[in-house]
Amino acid sequence: MRRIPLLCVLAMLGATALAAPASAAPVALLSDPVYDYTTAIRETVYVETTLDNDGNGTPDKVVADVIRPREAATAGVKVPVVMDASPYYQCCGRGNESEKKVYAADGTVTKFPLYYDNFFVPRGYAFVAADLAGTSRSTGCEDVGGTEEVQGAKAVVDWLNGRAVGRTASGTIVNATTWSTGKVGMIGKSWDGTIANAVAATGVQGLETIVPIAAISSWYDYNRVNGMVNPKVSSVPSLHTTVNGRPSGTCSAVSSALSSGAVSNGNYNAFWAARNYVPSAASVHASVFVVHGQNDLNVQGVHFGQWWDALAANNVPRKIWLSQEGHVDPFDFRRATWVDTLHRWFDFWLKGIDNGIMSEPMADVERAADVWQTSTQWPPSGTTTANYVLQGTGNPGVLAPSGAGSGSLSLTDAPSLSEANAVSSPTTARTGRKVYQTPVLTSDLRIAGTPTITLRVRSSKATTTLTAKLVTYGTATRVNYRASGEGISTLTSQSCWGSSSSTDDACYKDTAKVVSSAAYQVLSRGWMDGQHRDSLTSTTAMNTSTYYTITWKLRPIDQVIPASQRLGVVLTLTDPEFVSAHSTGATATIDLAGSVLKLPIAPATGLSAQTLTPQPLTPLVIDPSWNPSTGTRFQ
């Protein structure tokens, strides 16, 4: 497909011309690649846990595959550890190219997935790739976010600090404190990042920082949506089956317990509570560098939003990147800047190098393909809540930033209504949806945080799904996160990030941003099951003659609606693409005088041209279609 330069995209976006860059900042202190990667020590350690959930009478063991600089070991120099604990090292692979561990005849890893080992080992780090319990060569049984998984990964941190026993395959004790400083940084995308969140929530000493990328903070909010089942993701039992590395029948009891705990209804219960890490944010001692795609339809924005808010409430040192892509690693959407930033982050938190990274802006937010804006804090200073009211029943109705709501809306369930048909052509009357729009904006509007909506509603049935979508209307070229690569495509060219050996190279295929011209973009979504309006743990039927005031959150965002476009909110009932088929055939009557959309509005002064920085330029691929299919996967 034809590629276009970034400045052409900005012209199509109607973006402000970019200012010349400021004078170069002083060169930051960085660790140098002084160690030989090809001669690095590679070893496999079986770390004992305190658990035995496979019931074989011996402690379950988590495999930690280690690579560390030989010269440092010879000189008696201790090194910090970068660690990626994952269930995917053998079943599915890691990264955009789905790399797996490769082993020599003696069982030692000769190839580690991803570039962490290639880049950081020469710079004086060890890298540990840990197989979660019940996966690959680890024993125990994978319990998908539960105690076995979390405590098993935590045991590796404990071993690196001398608090747990590690052995070779032959049983010889391996003492990590002879070479490890005890300072550990956990990193990973998706499930790997989730386990980083979970281990940090235990408060384990020695875990100095985590970098959760597109990570879950609550397994309920991954599999369920305010009382309904999320059909876009794999169930807990099926995830267990996918990653299980144990012989047939070994984990039958655990598999059965997962099926019974993750009941098919939408209720929140003890099973989900044990897999909710947000309430334990007060126990987090590690700093946290959050990375998330605002358009991630797999691990949706609720995960970074509630985790970030809980960390902020407990004054956890933190940093955040928010991109326009879907479920994509920053190595594949902002590679050079990402590797540099991650390098400085780990140098600061694991090596104590005062490189100034914590004095830099807290947040980097992608506005358009490769155009980034920074904020000194997130949500930005001066962000306030603005009430937008719903007025009238025309096509469309008015979304007004002042005044009062007016009128009454009757909305009939249309279970076959797709999202595309629900939000497109806002002036067209369509059964099952109602659009409310602002007038054409005369200045940019920045929404940064978590929108909420309140509807005063009466249902003709005992329950109904309530759906709200925040939409920007106005033709523009945007990152196409609905395409198969969720905003990127993979090229044939390669770039290298670190040192290589004959068995493990540091080179990865380059990527390009995929952009499309579209008349609208859905910015945020939110859903509520009417019978779960008061509680997620139990249901209460809706009385068909009673109005209920129901409030729910939409997904958190940091998006700018440019001047000359319109902001809209689209109301529907059933939304089968995002929540389980829950159509009751209801008709909902909405009292607009008692309904309001609350938006976190950040100051427009933060949108000066100086803050909009294209770096570095990434090849752009024009996709003429806005593909409604998702093609997402958990990895």
Catalytic residues, by residue number, are 190, 296, 327
Count of alpha carbons within 13 angstroms of residue 386, beta-carbon side: 17
Are the CB atoms for 506 and 497 separated by under 8 Å? Answer: yes
Are the CB atoms for 128 and 156 separated by under 8 Å? Answer: yes
Q: Tokens for 39, please give them.
A: 């001669």
Q: How far apart are CA 293 and CA 190, in angstroms?
A: 11
Distance of CA 532 to the CA centre of its chain: 26
DSSP conformation class of 85: E
Are the CB atoms for 18 and 613 separated by under 8 Å? Answer: yes
Are the CB atoms for 565 and 521 separated by under 8 Å? Answer: no
Phi first, then psi, for residue 305 (nearest 5°) are: -65, -50
Q: How far apart are CA 578 and CA 559, in angstroms?
A: 21
Nearest by Cα to 370 from 343, 335, 341: 335
Positive or negative: CA dihedral 195, 198, 199, 200 = positive
CA distances, 499 to each of 188, 230, 429, 588, 594 (Å): 20, 42, 60, 61, 62
- HEC per residue, 217-244: CEHHHHHEECCEECCCCCCHHHHHHHHC
Q: Which helix (H) or strand (E) holds 349?
A: helix 335-351
Contacts of 99 (CB under 8 A, 6+ apart): 93, 111, 113, 114
Long-range contacts for 491-499 (Cβ within 8 Å, ≥24 apart)? 491/619, 495/335, 497/115, 497/118, 497/119, 497/335, 497/339, 498/33, 498/37, 498/115, 498/117, 498/118, 498/119, 498/120, 498/121, 498/122, 499/33, 499/36, 499/37, 499/38, 499/118, 499/119, 499/121, 499/122
β-pairing, 207-213 with 180-189? Answer: parallel
CA distances, 512 to each of 91, 165, 344, 629 (Å): 27, 45, 25, 20
Look-up: residue for tokens 């000194």?
Answer: 376
DSSP conformation class of 27: P
Look-up: residue for tokens 């390098």?
Answer: 343
Q: Tokens for 416, please give them.
A: 């076959």
Are the CB atoms for 380 and 364 separated by under 8 Å? Answer: no
Q: How far apart are CA 521 and CA 101, in angstroms?
A: 39
One-letter amino acid identity for 459? S
Nearest by Cα to 115 from 75, 67, 159: 67
DSSP conformation class of 314: T
Look-up: residue for tokens 């070994």?
Answer: 250
Q: How far apart are CA 556 and CA 290, in angstroms?
A: 14
Q: Is 460 helix (H, G, I), strand (E, B) or coil?
A: coil
| Dihedral-angle region of residue 398 (phi above 0 means left; psi in -120 to 50 means alpha; beta otherwise) | beta
Are the CB atoms for 101 and 495 separated by under 8 Å? Answer: no
Q: Is 117 helix (H, G, I), strand (E, B) or coil?
A: helix
Are the CB atoms for 458 and 449 separated by under 8 Å? Answer: no
Contacts of 95 (CB under 8 A, 6+ apart): 113, 114, 329, 331, 508
